[in-house]
Amino acid sequence: MFHHVDQSLEKSQGGLRIGLTLVKRLAEMHEGDIEAKSEGLGKGSEFLVRLPLATKPESQKSDDKTEPVSPPLSLRILIVYDNKDAADSLAMMLDLLGNETHTAYDGQEGVACAPATPGSITTW
């Protein structure tokens, strides 16, 4: 999803250096972890991400199998990304999950679309 603008030879083996850090922090935010393994140069890598299962709090558990399932929480999400295809794909996926999304394709557009204060409502 991330890519370099500069495709020179000196960076051909490198990445943006944010991928594993981003995954690690996201996993930790959800009380999970990540493990990386490799048998050496040129032998590939294996990454294992562990996340806990979502469970109902004890107060909501019931033996009654007819309990109605509540719909997932719907969120208003602003996606700001200069890769239009990636931003649009992410928005479609989040829309399918029942969220309300809006996309902006650069920082200025994103700031203009974002609410001025947390929790405030803005018209898209």
Residue ranges and CATH numbers for the domains of the chain are 15-52 (no CATH), 72-124 (3.40.50.2300)
What pLDDT, on a 0 to 100 scale, did the predictor assign at position 29?
A: 85
C-alpha distances (whole Å) from 114 to each of 60, 78, 82, 92, 95 are 35, 7, 16, 19, 18
Confidence of residue 72 (pLDDT cuts 50, 70, 90): low
pTM for the full model?
A: 0.42
Average pLDDT over residues 107-114: 87
